[in-house]
Amino acid sequence: MTIFFISSPGQMAHRALSLINKEKFKDLTIVTTKTIKPFFEDKLDAKILTLDVEPNLITKDTKHKLITNAIKSKFEYNKLFKHVKGQDVYLFFTSWGIVPISYVKKLSKNNKVYLYPEDFLDNMYDEEKGLTALIMKLSAKLLLGLDVYIVRWNNIPVWELKLNSFPMEIIEHDVFNNKLPKEFCIDPKYLKGKSILFLGSKFEIDCEESEDKIKLTNKLVNILDKHFKNKYCVKAHPIDKILYGKMKNCKYIIPAHYLSESLYNHYWDFIIGYHSEALVSAKRHTNAKVISLVKLYDFTNPKVRQYWIDTFDKEGLIMPKNLEELKCSLMI
């Protein structure tokens, strides 16, 4: 048996699916979230598990369930994984999902663990200090046996695993280097006649949602409707599934559970988005002109904004500073 622990579409697209395609695992179990489970069920002959315990242990609305969830996690582990010995376990994240990470730590006692780190939060977010961070670190240590530190993501304290917490082999890799195997891509015939792809994502992660940002989205839709009426399509992010303003009423909306990278085998003239890792993959793995709107709105954290601008600039993405530059980028 081989067990994959996956919590986000990026982990799937940037490493896990390529690894699955290469290694042809005969007995594969995937532990994932309810939001991305449908993609795996559609594309893989594997056992798909989702957890009943809150993966993040607690949320803003369930702080009072800290002890309860920790207790439930022990029963859930025993039910799902206590019998697993001598197997390979792959972990693709070190942030947020502290409960599944605690399962991997327990599995590491009798199994070989491989970590493919995202190395994501370290580059954008500062370590959190203070009482909240101390309580969270102690909770992780005493209730789940994990050594963590805390980073602050848009005013939300987030668990981040210390990599010396338990035995694992860390596999260094370029997260954007792997192109999604064609077995996991959408049939291009379903995109016939479409030349522009817009990739939606949720503003609230690093940006305050505001009327200005919705107006920006509406102006983009007006441009696309005027100049590319039946040639563009829209896809929301697989996790939040949110589209803003007029984007919700676009004529051709691709089901959100598809990975953005599963659309890159189609020929696109333009791929447009706010700020997303999927835009970097688009630049590397398509011939499209890739446009980020990142310079057209504000961030609550300037450091995060600059991270995306630097990343996109390094990859050669187009980042218009105003709507006129956007129109020029679209050759209007």
- Are residue 60 and residue 129 in the same domain, yes or no? yes
pTM for this model (two decimals): 0.83
Choose one of 146, 170, 194: the last residue of a domain. Answer: 170
Using DSSP, state whether 223 is helix, strand or coil: helix
Please report whether residue 180 resides in a domain: no
- CATH number where 296 lies: 3.40.50.850
**Range(s) of the domain holding residue 163:** 2-170
Radius of gyration from C-alpha coordinates of the chain: 21
Q: Are 85 and 65 in contact (CB under 8 A)?
A: no
Q: First vs last Cα of the chain: how many Å apart? A: 54
Give a yes or no: residue 36 inside a domain.
yes
Contact status, residue 8 vs residue 36, Cβ threshold 8 Å: yes
How many structural domains are present in the chain?
2
Band of residue 158 on the pLDDT scale cut at 50, 70, 90? confident
195-206 pLDDT tens trace: 999 999 877 555
Q: What is the pLDDT of residues 90-149, one digit of tens each?
A: 999 998 889 999 999 999 999 999 998 875 545 567 788 888 889 889 999 999 999 998
- Asked whether the predicted pLDDT for residue 23 surpasses 60, the reply is yes
Classify residue 112: in a domain, yes or no: yes
Whether the per-residue pLDDT at 301 is higher than 80: the answer is no
- 211 and 166 in a common domain: no
Confidence of residue 331 (pLDDT cuts 50, 70, 90): confident
Same domain, 73 and 152: yes
Q: Are residues 189 and 140 in the same domain?
A: no
Identify whether residues 141 and 208 lie together within a single domain: no
Mark which of 123, 145, 170 sits at the end of a domain: 170
Q: What is the DSSP string of 12-77?
A: IIIIIHHHHHHH--SSEEEEE-TTTHHHHHHH--SEEEE-SS-TTS--TT-GGGHHHHHHHHHHHH
Residues 220, 157 within the same domain: no
Residue 124 within any structural domain of the chain: yes
What pLDDT score was predicted for residue 223?
95
Parallel, antiparallel, or unpaired: how do β-strands 2-5 and 196-199 relate?
Answer: unpaired
DSSP class of residue 235 equals E
Tell whether 215 and 96 lie within a shared domain: no
154: left (phi over 0), alpha (psi -120 to 50) or beta: left
Query: Structure tokens of 64?
Result: 């009072």
Distance between CA atoms of 54 and 67, rounded to whole angstroms? 12
Mark which of 115, 138, 170 sits at the end of a domain.
170
Q: Is residue 56 part of a domain?
A: yes
**Same domain, yes or no, for 128 and 208?**
no
Q: Based on the domain organization, do 250 and 132 belong to the same domain?
A: no
